[in-house]
């Protein structure tokens, strides 16, 4: 397995002045970094410099993103759906350029947009049709689309691994996989072990988050259940420590971060990496 960290752990964005985050990854023994391709980040993302420095440091780059209301592929508004598909295709192009084989995250519906109701049949069908088209585009770039179920406070469309598996079946395209997140699972799943087992061979990305989004290994996540399930399904891809710079105005409100999550961002990366190495050794992964 490879251990990484989310790109907004230290900074609210990734600009030419933020490449020190790659040095941080190297310092704490990480294998790579997850570069968020959110719309506001793309505007200043130094693709060439990021790719060059990562190569110099021997780090891998992987990518994620999230849809907004204006790029909703489940909308009744055809223009929004077309805009959303174009956005995802652009993300795929950037992912390919950075050497990433995946785009993970909330890429099936707008992130942190709630309607006060359940998803509708027409929203579901719009999602299926849109992601089939985008998946075919992703196939040409050899990039997987990894769908992340999120908790009920961040989204209403996809909340559990079981729902994710059903959506994958209906899309019916081998380029579409699942992305699980222990913070989300802690809220929505009956069992951590069961959720990973349900994802099975379709699990392609995993966010390692404490129950309070602080240092992995603290809080009350059932890590032994998760790693036991990893072992049984043969999961051998990325474990990404996901936490956020607490004063990020673009993310903080959506994930409801109103306090410091640890002593420092360095502590989250350093101690989180150490904890994951111990768990990998324990389960011989």
Phi, psi of 114 (to 5 degrees): -110, 145
Joined together, the tokens standing for residue 82 give 């077309």
Q: Identify the active-site residue in 148, 154, 188, 189.
A: 148
Joined together, the tokens standing for residue 171 give 């899309």
Q: Identify the active-site residue in 68, 123, 242, 271.
A: 242
Sign of CA dihedral 113, 118, 121, 122: negative
Q: Would you call 82 a catalytic residue per the annotation?
A: no
Joined together, the tokens standing for residue 197 give 């087992």
Helical spans, DSSP H, in the chain? 20-27, 39-42, 47-57, 78-98, 121-141, 161-171, 182-188, 192-199, 223-233, 252-255, 265-282
Q: For residue 13, how many other CB atoms are within 10 A of its CB?
A: 19
Give 76: exposed, middle or buried? Use CB within 10 Å, 0-12, 13-18, 19+. exposed
Strand partners, 80: none
Q: For residue 17, how many other CB atoms are within 10 A of its CB?
A: 10
CB neighbour list of residue 41: distance below 8 Å, 6 or more residues apart: 13, 14
C-alpha neighbours within 13 Å on the C-beta side of residue 234: 2
Q: Would you call 245 a catalytic residue per the annotation?
A: no
Catalytic residues: 148, 242
């Amino acid at each position: 397995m490879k251990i990484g960290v989310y790109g907004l752990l230290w900074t609210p964005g990734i600009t030419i002045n933020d490449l020190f985050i790659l040095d941080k990854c190297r310092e704490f023994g990480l294998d790579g970094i997850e570069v968020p391709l959110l719309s506001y980040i793309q505007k200043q993302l130094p693709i060439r410099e990021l790719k060059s420095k990562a190569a110099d440091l021997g780090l891998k780059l992987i990518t994620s993103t999230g849809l907004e209301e204006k790029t909703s592929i489940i909308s009744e508004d055809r223009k929004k759906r077309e805009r959303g598909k174009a956005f995802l295709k652009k993300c795929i192009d950037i992912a390919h350029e950075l050497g990433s084989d995946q785009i993970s995250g909330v890429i099936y519906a707008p992130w942190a947009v709630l309607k006060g109701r359940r998803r509708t049949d027409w929203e579901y069908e719009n999602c299926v049709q849109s992601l089939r088209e985008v998946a075919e585009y992703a196939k040409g770039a050899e990039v997987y689309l990894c769908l992340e179920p999120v908790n009920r406070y961040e989204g209403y469309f996809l909340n559990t691994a079981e729902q994710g598996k059903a959506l994958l079946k209906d899309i019916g395209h081998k380029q579409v996989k699942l992305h699980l997140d222990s913070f989300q699972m802690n809220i929505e799943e009956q069992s951590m072990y069961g959720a990973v087992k349900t994802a099975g061979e379709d699990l392609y990305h995993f966010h390692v988050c404490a129950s309070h989004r602080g240092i992995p290994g603290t809080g009350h996540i059932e890590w032994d259940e998760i790693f036991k399930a990893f072992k049984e399904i043969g999961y051998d891809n990325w474990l990404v420590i996901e936490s956020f710079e607490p004063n990020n105005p673009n993310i903080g409100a959506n994930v409801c971060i109103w306090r410091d999550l640890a002593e420092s961002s360095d502590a989250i990366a350093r101690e989180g990496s150490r904890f994951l190495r111990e768990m990998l050794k324990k389960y011989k992964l």
